[in-house]
Amino acid sequence: MPATIISGKEISARIRERIKGEIEELVRMKGENPDFALPGLAVILVGDDPGSSIYVRNKRKICEEVGIRSFGYILEKDTSEADLMGLIDQLNEDKNVHGILCQLPLPPHLDEFSVISAISPEKDVDGFHPINKGLLSMGKNCLIPCTPLGCVEMLKLSGIGIAGKHCVIIGRSNIVGKPLAALMLNENATVTITHSKTRDLQEICRQADILVAAIGKQGFVTGEYVKDGAVVIDVGINRDTENKVRGDVLFEEVSEIAGAITPVPGGVGLMTTTILMQNTLQAYRNIMSKEAVL
C-alpha cells in the first residue's frame, strides 16, 4: 500500500493562515497608537548568488502574505565584515525589526560564525546563534532553526507521534542534523545521528520509525534503507540534469515501503520559510513582552 503523503503545502498553508490571523488581530489592537510596532523581518543578502536571491524574494512574498513587515538589504559581494557587522548592529537596535536573517552561504572572506554570533539572540529567527543552540540542547525555550522545527511540526500536525519512537537522522550539519537531533530528544524520541563515517548505515536506517534524510545527495535513500511502515522525512533539495528539484530519497521506490513520506518539492522546503514567519512572530512577542515588563 503506497505511503501517506505528508504535504508541506497543505500544512504550511494552515500555519500561515494562523499567523496571518494573529497579525490581523495585532493590527486591530494597534488602533491609532503610532508607537505600536508590527512584526518586522530584516533579511540581509551579501552578493548575487542566484539561489539565495530567489530565497530572499520568496521570503519577502510570504511576509506580505501573512502581514509581516519586510526589510531587505542587498550588499555587494565584496562587502567588508566590518560593514556587515555595522548593519547588524543597527538592526539589533532597530525597534521596527524583530527578526534578523543573514542569508547563507556568505562569501568566503566573511566569517559565518562571527556574523551569526553578532545577531541578537532575541532576533535570531534562523535559530543559529550559539545561545539559541545551547538553549535548544538544554530543552529550554528559544528560537529554533526553521527546517528542523518544520520537520517536527509536519509530524505533529499529521498526527504522527514522536515520543518513544526511534528517529534516525542521516546528516550531522549544524543547520539541520544536529539541531533536529536535539529537538527530537526534547520530544522524547530515541535519536541516532548517522553520517559519512557511519558503519552499516543501511542496517541502522532500517531500524528507524522516523527516518530523516538531510545529506544533499539526490536519491541516496532507496528502499533498502527503510523498514515497512516507517515515516520518511526528506529534507534534501537537489537539482537533476533537467534542473528539476529532487530529494535525498528515491521517492517512487520508498513510497511503496514507507507508511508516510514527505515529497520533494512540496514538503519540508515549504515548511522552512513558513516556520521563519512563525519564528519572527515569536521573536516579536518575546521582545514586546520584555519591553512591557521594563
pLDDT of residue 115: 98
Among this protein's residues, is 59 annotated catalytic?
yes
CA distances for 174 relative to 112, 141, 179, 192, 194, angstroms: 12, 19, 7, 15, 14
User: Could you say which of 103, 218, 278, 282 is catalytic?
Assistant: 103
Q: Which CATH class is domain 32-120?
A: alpha beta
Q: Three-state SS for 135?
A: helix
Q: How many CA atoms lie within 13 A of 282 on its CB side?
A: 18
pTM comes to: 0.94
Strand (E) or helix (H) holding 167: strand 166-170
Going from N- to C-terminal start, the domains of the chain cover: 32-120, 146-269
155 strand-pairing partners: none
pLDDT in tens, 95-148: 999 999 999 989 999 999 999 999 999 999 999 999 999 999 999 999 999 999
Catalytic residue among 126, 209, 234, 248: 126
Specify whether 103 is catalytic: yes
| 59, 123, 133, 165: the active-site residue | 59
Cα pseudo-dihedral 254, 257, 260, 266, rounded to 10: 20
**Sheet of strand 40-46, all strands in order from the earlier edge strand to the far edge:** 69-75, 40-46, 99-102
Q: Do the domains spanning 32-120 and 146-269 agree at the CATH topology level?
A: yes
**Using one digit for the tens of pLDDT, what is the confidence trace for 52-108?**
777 788 889 999 999 999 999 999 999 999 999 999 999 999 999 999 999 998 999
Helix (H) or strand (E) holding 166, with range, is: strand 166-170
For residue 89, give the C-alpha cell. Answer: 548592529
Q: Could you give the dihedral angle defined by the CA atoms of residues 66, 71, 236 and 244, in that order, rounded to the nearest 10 degrees?
A: 90
Place of cell 545577531: 119
Average of pLDDT values for 265-276?
95
Partnered with residue 212 across adjacent β-strands are 169, 233
* Exposed e or buried b per residue across 151-184, where buried means at least 16 C-beta atoms within 10 angstroms of its C-beta: bbbbbeebebebeebbbbbbbbbebbbbbbbbbb
Decide if pLDDT at 294 tops 80. Answer: no
What is the CATH T-level fold of the domain 146-269, as seen in this structure?
A: Rossmann fold (3.40.50)
Query: What's the Rg (C-alpha) of the chain?
Result: 20
Strand-by-strand arrangement of the 260-261 sheet: 4-5, 260-261, 231-234, 210-213, 166-170, 190-194
Half-sphere exposure of 22 (CA within 13 A, CB side): 15
